[in-house]
Amino acid sequence: MFNQPSIIQFDLPDWIGAYTQGLSLMQDLDERMSFVIDASRRNIAEQTGGPFAAAIFERDSGRLVSLGINLVMTEGLSILHAEMVAFSLAQRKLNCYDLGAEGLPVHELVTSTEPCAMCLGATCWSGVRRLLIGARDEDARAIGFDEGPKMAERWIELQQRGIEVIHDIQRERAAAVLTEYHLAGGGIYNSRQRGTE
């Protein structure tokens, strides 16, 4: 007899609560990125997921809307990259699947590493109007993560959908987290690459 779950649920780890206590508005883009990079490092230290974090901010005020972290291995769901978690948290909080809906402040995604192919697509559907990126695609590939099939023209494609992209914000700090993770023997999941099984 066929059966499948009637509900899917995933939980955020407890440390997020303390990590996000007492925050002020973050005017500065470097400050926003540092906050996200530190969350990616914390996610490793707490052993709650892979070395990635992402957050939704109100672009103009610098108010944090949501903080997502990679939960793939912890929650056993391959879609739970940090960006997907951040989008979902923000959309539930604002009760709208479109963070660019009329009447809402302009939202942005701040991500510790360039989004993979899945998360780039998801960025187009999320309603964010700006994307701030720390580590580059090649920094993730350098430690063995597969970033997926991405167009060379991806930044133009995002721009055509009204999404501004800013690269290399705290790139070295963000990439250092990836290297630390790798050197500590962190698992590279989802990396069934190019001919290997």
CB atoms within 10 A of CB 168: 13
Residue 106 in the binding site for a second copy (CB under 8 A): no
- Identity of the residue, 179 or 190, whose beta carbon is nearer to a second copy in the bound complex: 190
Task: Decide if 128 contacts 97 (C-beta within 8 A).
Answer: no
**Of positions 11, 18, 103, 185, contacts a second copy by CB under 8 A:** 11
Pairing of strands 107-113, 53-58: antiparallel
**Count of residues binding a second copy (CB under 8 A)?**
72
**Total count of residues recorded for the chain:** 197
Residues 6+ apart with CB under 8 A from 154: 120
Q: Which of residues 152-171 bind a second copy (CB under 8 A)?
A: 153-154, 157-158, 160-162
In 83-129, the DSSP E strands lie at 107-113
CB-nearer residue toward a second copy: 29 or 116 = 116
Cβ proximity to a second copy, 65 vs 143, nearer residue = 65
The nearer residue to a second copy, 81 or 173, going by C-beta atoms, is: 81
- Under 8 Å between Cβ of 35 and 100: no
Site for a second copy in 68-87 (CB under 8 A): 72-73, 75-79, 84-85, 87
With respect to a second copy, which residue has the nearer C-beta, 112 or 126?
Answer: 126
Residues 24-63 that bind a second copy (CB under 8 A): none
Supply the minimum distance, in Å, between the C-beta of residue 192 and a second copy.
6
188: contact with a second copy by CB under 8 A: no
Q: Please calculate the CA angle 148-154-155 and round it to the nearest 5 degrees.
A: 135
Tell me the torsion sign for CA atoms 81, 84, 87, 90: negative
Binding of residue 126 to a second copy (CB under 8 A) = yes
Structure tokens at 71: 């939960």
Please identify which residue in 38, 46, 98, 180 interacts with a second copy, judged by CB under 8 A: 98
